[in-house]
């Protein structure tokens, strides 16, 4: 069997036992291919025209849109409340605000994170663990109360 360069493919043991002229030929083929790719990319970069684009930052990411696809740019106005939105969504937005605050706090001056890779996720995993432990403690000491109302409308509290 032969590889794309026309050289025989052998077992790993046979590849380490190749003759020096086979290795030299293979290296020469790879070097020539690298030069051809470098020349073609250099030629492409000289022939390209400048592209006008609208560049904007959303969060920590940079985006660009071709200028011919942008009709107008408007300033952000006040947002309208969505009627009938459940109250628990406020806690979701509070969590998002907390995450944004943490991201701002852990950002280096060059806009990289102080917690790269998995340490970022381990931070929030640890935070969730601490929150779960606090919830267990609060739930243990929580006293349930039931409110009963009689026919006259008087409310009385009954501890469970």
pLDDT tens-digit map of 92-151 = 888 889 988 988 888 888 888 888 889 989 999 999 999 999 999 999 998 887 777 767
- In three-state secondary structure terms, 160 is coil
Whether 159 and 143 have beta carbons less than 8 Å apart is answered as yes
Whether 52 and 67 have beta carbons less than 8 Å apart is answered as yes
DSSP string, 79-135: PPPPTT--TTHHHHHHHHHHHHHHHHHTB-TTS-BSS-THHHHHHHHHHHHHHHHHH
pLDDT tens-digit map of 12-21 = 544 555 555 6
Q: What local confidence, expressed as pLDDT, does residue 56 receive? A: 84
Residue 77, both tokens? 């106005």
Q: What local confidence, expressed as pLDDT, does residue 122 receive? A: 93
pLDDT tens-digit map of 40-99 = 766 666 656 777 888 888 877 888 888 888 888 888 788 777 788 888 888 888 888 998
Average pLDDT, the chain: 78
Count, residues in the chain? 160
């Amino acid at each position: 069997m032969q590889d794309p360069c026309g050289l025989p493919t052998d077992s790993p043991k046979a590849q380490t036992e190749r003759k020096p002229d086979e290795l030299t030929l293979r290296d020469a083929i790879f070097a020539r291919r690298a030069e051809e790719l470098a020349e073609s990319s250099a030629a492409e970069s000289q022939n390209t025209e400048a592209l006008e684009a609208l560049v904007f930052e959303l969060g920590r990411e940079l985006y660009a849109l071709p200028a011919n696809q942008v009709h107008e740019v408007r300033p952000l106005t006040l947002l309208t409340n969505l009627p009938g939105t459940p109250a628990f969504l406020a806690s979701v937005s509070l969590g998002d605000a907390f995450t944004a605050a943490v991201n701002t706090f852990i950002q280096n001056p060059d806009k990289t994170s102080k917690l790269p890779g998995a340490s970022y996720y381990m931070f929030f995993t640890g935070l969730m663990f601490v929150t779960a432990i606090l919830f267990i403690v609060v739930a243990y000491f929580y006293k349930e109360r039931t409110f009963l109302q009689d026919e006259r409308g008087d409310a009385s509290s009954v501890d469970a």
